[in-house]
Amino acid sequence: MINCIRYWRRQLVKGVLAATLLIWLPPQLLTNCGPFDNGFSGYSFFEPEVWVQERAFLPFYLGIDDAYKYYQSVEARKTQYNVREWTERVCREAEPEDVYFLVYKAPLTDIQMLQSATTSRKLPVPLRLQGNSFAEFLYAQRCVETIDYLAFAKKCEPHVVALNPWSVPRRDTVAMLALIAEGRKAFLKTRSDYMRLRYAYQIVRLAHYAGQYQRVLDLYDYLMPKIDPDRARLHTSLLPWWILGHKAGALRALGQRVLASYLFARIFLNCPSRRESAYRSFDIRTDEEWQQCYALCQDDRERATLYAIRGSTPDSRALEEMKQIYTLWPQGPYLEMLLAKELRELERDLLGLAFNDQAEQNKRRYDIPRDQAGAYAIELEQFVRQVLKDGYVPHLSFWHMAVGYLQLLRGDYYAAAKTFEQVAPKLSQPQLSEQIQAMQWALRISSIVELTPEIENEIFQFVRTDPIYRKYPDFADFIADKMAWLYQREGHPGLAFLCHHPWRDLRYDPKMELVEDILNAARNPRSRFVRWLTSDADGRSLETAMLDMKATLYLQQNQLEAAWQVYQEIPRSEWDALLQVEPFVVSFKERVNVPLSLDSTNMYNRGELIQALMDLNFEIRATPERNARQYFQLGVAWYNMTYFGQAWRALDYYRSGASWRRLWQTQLFPVPGRKGVFNREYTDCTRALAYFEKARLQARSRESQAKAAFMAARCERNMYFTSTDYQPPPCANCIPVLPEEYTTHFQLLKSHYADTKFYQQAIKECSWFAAYARK
Amino acid sequence: MHLIAKVTFAVWLGLSSVAFYGCQSDVQPRLALYHWQGQWAPNEAMRTWAEGLGPTWWYVRFFDLDLSADGRDVEPISQLSWTAPLPDTLAAVVFITTRALEVVPQHTLATLASRMYRLLDTMAQAAGVQLAEVQLDCDWTPSLRAKYFKLLSAFQQILSPHIVLSATIRLHQVKWAARTGVPPVDKGMLMVYHTGDVRRRGVRNAILQTEVLKQYLYGFDTYPLPLDVVWPLFSWGVLWREGRFIRLISPLSAQDLADSSRFASSDKLHFSVRRATWLKGYYLYSGDSIRLERVPFDTLQQAAAILADALARTPTRVAFYHFDTTVPQLWTHDQLYQILETTAR
């Protein structure tokens, strides 16, 4: 016994420590959710994709880590750009999927067969390439150089694709060097400048992946001047940038970080398909290196690019970079990109901060909002206004919208409303107009300080009919949180509850304050919103349900008159539908969910039950000395209405068997799947015990006395289960050993009533009592 | 002759016993170093310093196991490369991220162990080294315990008998071993650092504080695994911006922050950024703050003394994490040996 106590106390200590650790540890350590975890709980109505023109910047304002979401599209886009260039340069008639197949999928043997066929003219297009419009075109036009190049590229492919990560990364440098030599020869033989460009790409790439970094630089310097830029139309091709990327990589590997970073910046500026990798490869470490890199820039666009890269890191305070970029290249795409990024960050910081019910969690887990978010929003707005005023940037509507949204975020609702009114008429695209509408609604909801029926009806109308509500899913939470906050402030805790929970959630742990508030609102709904809020899913008023709950709360406190008065307000015809229990049936079998008798006269609805209890109390008062039967009946009713009896629904709406093992710790249990909702079990047997004791003392027959003592013993047993003294037995079916202080009535039965028929029956029918009687 | 033989044997037996029991009480743990960078390329100073240390055991990180780029699979990343010969015999370490462990299906763990070992073996052969030990490093949680232990068990099945399997053990995993479990390995490497939450502003030193260490020293007497110990040699700067933790900058020393035109210091450990500047590849804004953390020698000695009292057995190895360019500048051989001796007390 003592060891049991020690053991379970140790478990308790461990549990408390573990719980403390769980609270103390940052959830990143607990959830381990990797790149997809977005546990921040807030709202967003700003859609950067709608405003920012250059989609290749998506990863930058979403945050590079969120680029996982766009991984496929980035990779696919690289291939897409290449296929597009092949189509534009070589054969406009070819289907892109055919180009893709020939360039990326067709095996070397098929290309070689196409080579032979094209050269001989007697052989047809190889069988597997027949029907491929690109292959057919090359064959028909005798594009020998192109096919030769494709064959060479296929040979290079195994050496330049991403290695199996499970292999030791070794490349066959001998074979790669041989291919470089072959490529050089072919390069010099080729007359087409565009194909030369393609060869240069393959050759430089081979050298880079072979780890021959100096050779990369030498090859670059050797090959690129031999390509006529006009004939190759370098200015419209991806390939010069791809080749430059390899040169930059080689420079970086050789320790020439500054020059490499400069080249990566140029790639970032000019080549969308390599923008992300250029960003990741940019590597400046000191102020001196920054100055050196800056000095390499040839024009303001390049200088602006350095700032754009610097400002694109997820935690940057990009206003500093934006100011620099504005002086250098205001017409460029960077300002929009960084403004979008900053707006998103500030939206997370500030939107709905006052009423977000997860604000505390956001701060604790994610440090959102940032400390100076409000001041930063003001600073950013000042800059945006200046830019707008100067008018040098393209897409002024975006900047204008940004002013309005920043005003909204920092709480200047009047100014924001004015701004949005000015912006809206200037927008011709439906998507942009919808954005403004959404922001105006966010503004409208944010700016509400007090609820009136008119405002409630306005919200109701918006929720029910406006397509903007459906288009922006965050409105549901936004409105619910704001309304709940307002209702709570205005002394309507019940309505606040209903904003976040379905009414049935109140049943887990009803509270008078909430019930009365909802009842009053349901009786006299002041607006369509309140009527909707205080109706169930079928549109029926919650009045009856609340009356029922109110009566139940009174009943729990044994305030029978008050419970009766409330219940009279419910039409009698509805009483049966609300509850049917058998509170007065007593049995050796203890069941909680199955009726003990099949006799319907034992069934009571709640109103009848209240009345019956009142009658019993009246009888007791009327005949003070002969009330054993009434006391016993009351004891049985109050016992059966607890967690342990079959009439538990009289006092509670939800009972969980899983609560049993922890009743000694708490009566309040989280409801699975219902955030912030707790179920209270009604376990108090003291009232029943008092009645049984009175019944025993007043009973004349010893059989009745024994019966009352038996029921009192049951109460004591349950009181042990719900006390901190409780030690769970080692197995589910084991009968726990009761401490002496909880066996008063069992002892009494044994010592005083062992000769009664009831006692004998109890021993036979009740295994618990039989076990105790044996001790 | 018969008598002489008996006497000789008895003398020999007696001397052997004295030698054996005498040596037992004088067994010193071996000093070990961790190498954690992506490339084994020690410079001259590092090589000289390491050679001067004497016989040293090496734990070399061979690769990490993390999510693939598309987040759907797990794969080795940051594979070790080398431009200089590795030690002939070493322990290969694999760091496994918890997010990787979450993604891996239970039924593929044996296959994963097999692939991991094959890669380790291939790399060892390519480097011309002998694997004497494989160590897995993963901060498993109770919810990942079953998976991680299954992976370890699969490793046990695959490894040749002469290769030791070990796992890193955090302090909390000893204290709450009943919840976190004891990994099925031959031995554990107790990591005596990361005692604090680096993201909390009020924390003085998230790497190691002796007061916090004491709170973890329960259960060591009954912990079933033999434990070696690893101490921290590293330092970092904890960067804050607008009240939010941004990142760790490592390695970082007070010398890096000595420029008073860029950094202001309220004490030896707390710095604020005066003007925007680059620091070790990160751009810092004016108003950013840095909390410098490192564990000085005295603190390590103190911690070693505290831990020595708690350990049930003398560790066979006392390691230091991790060997980089700063170690020869900041640490002497004597200091490491003193910590080793205190730990082995």
CB of A169 less than 8 A from some CB of B: yes
Q: Which of A5-9, A369-373, A632-636, B56-60 has the lowest mean pLDDT?
A: A5-9
d(CA A348, CA A355): 13
Closest-CA residue of A relative to B100 is: A34
Identify which has the larger pLDDT, A471 or B55. Answer: A471
CB of A13 less than 8 A from some CB of B: no
Are A268 and A248 contacting, i.e. CB atoms less than 8 angstroms apart?
A: no
For A111-135, the pLDDT digits (tens) are 999 999 999 878 999 999 999 999 9
Instruction: Tell whether B138 and B271 lie within a shared domain.
Output: no
d(CA A428, CA B54): 76
Q: At residue A727, does pLDDT exceed 90?
A: no
Q: What are phi and psi of A599, to 5 degrees?
A: -85, 115
Q: How many other C-beta atoms lie within 10 A of the C-beta of residue A206?
A: 27
d(CA B96, CA B136): 7
Are A690 and A637 contacting, i.e. CB atoms less than 8 angstroms apart?
A: no
Mean pLDDT of chain B: 91
CB of A373 less than 8 A from some CB of B: yes
Q: At residue A60, does pLDDT exceed 70?
A: no
In a mutational test of the B interface, the residue from A28, A32, A277 whose CB has the highest number of chain B CBs within 10 Å is A32
Secondary structure (DSSP) of B278-297:
EETTEEE-TT-EEEEEE--H
Chain B residues whose CB is inside 8 A of the A32 CB are 98-99, 102, 141, 144
Res A284: pLDDT: 97
Per DSSP, helices labelled H in B27-144 are 44-52, 98-103, 109-127
Chain A residues whose CB is inside 8 A of the B172 CB are 21
- What's the pLDDT band for A643 if we cut at 50, 70, 90? very high
Q: At residue B106, does pLDDT exceed 70?
A: yes
B99/A290 touch (CB, cutoff 8 Å), yes or no: no
Where do the structural domains in chain A lie, given as residue ranges?
64-142, 145-161+169-255, 448-563, 600-774
- What's the pLDDT band for A194 if we cut at 50, 70, 90? very high
Pairing of strands B57-67, B30-35: parallel
Token code pair at residue A110: 């098929």
Token code pair at residue A553: 């709360």
d(CA A354, CA A413): 14
Q: At residue A4, does pLDDT exceed 50?
A: no
The number of domains in chain B is 2
The helix (H) or strand (E) run that includes residue B40 is strand B39-40
Which residue has tokens 């405002």? A455
Res B2: pLDDT: 62
Are A644 and A628 contacting, i.e. CB atoms less than 8 angstroms apart?
A: no
For B236-260, the pLDDT digits (tens) are 999 999 989 999 999 999 999 999 9
Instruction: Tell whether B95 and B37 lie within a shared domain.
Output: yes
Chain B residues whose CB is inside 8 A of the A71 CB are 69-71
For A600-624, the pLDDT digits (tens) are 788 999 999 999 999 999 999 998 7
Residue B304 placed within a domain: yes
Instruction: Give A21 to chain B, closest Cα distance, Å.
Output: 10
Phi-psi map region of A558: left, alpha, beta (phi>0 left; psi -120 to 50 alpha): left
Q: At residue A7, does pLDDT exceed 80?
A: no
Cα A760 → chain centroid: 61
CB of B141 less than 8 A from some CB of A: yes
List the single residue in A33, A35, A370 with the smallest CB-CB distance to B243: A370
DSSP-based helix, strand, coil % in chain A, nearest 5: 70, 0, 30
- What's the pLDDT band for A66 if we cut at 50, 70, 90? low
Instruction: Tell whether B214 and B248 lie within a shared domain.
Output: no
Instruction: Tell whether B289 and B306 lie within a shared domain.
Output: no
Cα angle, residue A490 at apex, residues A489 and A491 outer, rounded to 5°: 95
Instruction: Tell whether B229 and B267 lie within a shared domain.
Output: no
Q: At residue A746, does pLDDT exceed 70?
A: yes
Instruction: Tell whether B83 and B118 lie within a shared domain.
Output: yes
Res A10: pLDDT: 56
Number of DSSP helices (H) and strands (E) in chain B, helices first = 11, 18
Q: How many other C-beta atoms lie within 10 A of the C-beta of residue B326?
A: 18
Res B8: pLDDT: 62
Instruction: Give B280 to chain A, closest Cα distance, Å.
Output: 5
- What's the pLDDT band for A590 if we cut at 50, 70, 90? confident
Token code pair at residue A280: 């990741």
A167/B122 touch (CB, cutoff 8 Å), yes or no: yes
- What's the pLDDT band for A737 if we cut at 50, 70, 90? confident
Instruction: Give B6 to chain A, closest Cα distance, Å.
Output: 56
List all residues 6 or more positions away from A130 whose beta carbon is below 8 Å from its beta carbon: A124, A136
Are B275 and B287 contacting, i.e. CB atoms less than 8 angstroms apart?
A: no
The helix (H) or strand (E) run that includes residue B231 is strand B227-232
Are A378 and A40 contacting, i.e. CB atoms less than 8 angstroms apart?
A: no
Question: DSSP character for B313?
Answer: S
Q: At residue A18, does pLDDT exceed 70?
A: no
Are B132 and B90 contacting, i.e. CB atoms less than 8 angstroms apart?
A: yes
Average pLDDT over residues A625-637: 92
Average pLDDT over residues A270-282: 90
Q: Which of A19-33, A708-722, B312-326 has the lowest mean pLDDT?
A: A19-33
Instruction: Tell whether B268 and B314 lie within a shared domain.
Output: no
The helix (H) or strand (E) run that includes residue B272 is strand B270-273
Identify which has the larger pLDDT, A689 or A588. Answer: A689
d(CA B200, CA B249): 16
Instruction: Tell whether B128 and B152 lie within a shared domain.
Output: yes
DSSP-based three-state secondary structure for B198: coil
Q: At residue B32, does pLDDT exceed 90?
A: yes
Closest-CA residue of A relative to B124 is: A168
d(CA A319, CA A197): 40
Chain A residues whose CB is inside 8 A of the B71 CB are 34-36, 68, 71
Token code pair at residue B127: 């480097």
Q: At residue B147, does pLDDT exceed 70?
A: yes
Instruction: Tell whether B277 and B229 lie within a shared domain.
Output: no
Distances (CA, A) of A674 to A166, A479, A498, A506, A545: 44, 20, 14, 11, 20
d(CA B52, CA B137): 28
Res A12: pLDDT: 54
Question: DSSP character for A102?
Answer: I
Size of interface A-B (CB pairs under 8 A): 98
Residue B1 placed within a domain: no
Instruction: Give A379 to chain B, closest Cα distance, Å.
Output: 14
A68/B71 touch (CB, cutoff 8 Å), yes or no: yes
Instruction: Tell whether B254 and B332 lie within a shared domain.
Output: no
Identify which has the larger pLDDT, B160 or B21. Answer: B160
Residue B267 placed within a domain: yes
Instruction: Tell whether B118 and B89 lie within a shared domain.
Output: yes
- What's the pLDDT band for A61 if we cut at 50, 70, 90? low
Average pLDDT over residues A480-501: 97
Res B236: pLDDT: 96
d(CA B315, CA B230): 10
Res A505: pLDDT: 96
Amino acid at A344: R
Token code pair at residue A729: 């037995």
Cα angle, residue A555 at apex, residues A553 and A557 outer, rounded to 5°: 75
Res B97: pLDDT: 96
Comparing CA positions, the residue from A403, A378, A379, A401 lying closest to residue A47 is A401
Res B25: pLDDT: 43
Res B287: pLDDT: 94
First to last CA, chain B: 47
CATH number (domain holding residue B178): 3.20.20.80
In a mutational test of the B interface, the residue from A7, A283, A320, A367 whose CB has the highest number of chain B CBs within 10 Å is A367
d(CA B50, CA B233): 14
For B277-291, the pLDDT digits (tens) are 999 999 999 999 999
For A243-265, the pLDDT digits (tens) are 999 999 999 999 999 999 999 99
Q: At residue A360, does pLDDT exceed 90?
A: yes
Phi-psi map region of B290: left, alpha, beta (phi>0 left; psi -120 to 50 alpha): beta
Secondary structure (DSSP) of A435-481:
HHHHHHHHHHHHH--S--HHHHHHHHHHHHH-HHHHH-THHHHHHHH
Res A70: pLDDT: 53
Pairing of strands B164-170, B289-294: unpaired
Average pLDDT over residues A349-361: 95
Phi-psi map region of A411: left, alpha, beta (phi>0 left; psi -120 to 50 alpha): left
Res A601: pLDDT: 81
Q: At residue A68, does pLDDT exceed 50?
A: no
Mean pLDDT of chain A: 90
Res A190: pLDDT: 96
Cα A147 → chain centroid: 51
Residues 259-318 of B with CB under 8 A from A: 276-281, 283, 285
CB of B257 less than 8 A from some CB of A: no
| Burial of A614 from C-beta contacts in 10 A (0-12 / 13-18 / 19+) | middle
Per DSSP, helices labelled H in A623-735 are 628-640, 686-698, 702-721
Instruction: Tell whether B124 and B247 lie within a shared domain.
Output: no
Ranges A50-54, A462-466, A731-735, most confident = A462-466
Among residues B252, B267, B293, the one where a domain terminates is: B293
d(CA B171, CA B220): 10
Res A739: pLDDT: 87
Q: At residue A535, does pLDDT exceed 60?
A: yes
Average pLDDT over residues A542-565: 97
Q: At residue A364, does pLDDT exceed 60?
A: yes
Cα A76 → chain centroid: 27
Portion of chain A with pLDDT greater than 90, in percent? 75
B241/A320 touch (CB, cutoff 8 Å), yes or no: no
Count of CA atoms in the C-beta half-sphere (13 A) of A464: 10
List the single residue in A71, A72, A370 with the smallest CB-CB distance to B242: A370
DSSP-based helix, strand, coil % in chain B, nearest 5: 35, 30, 35
Task: List the domain range (segments joined by +) for residue B258.
Answer: 236-293
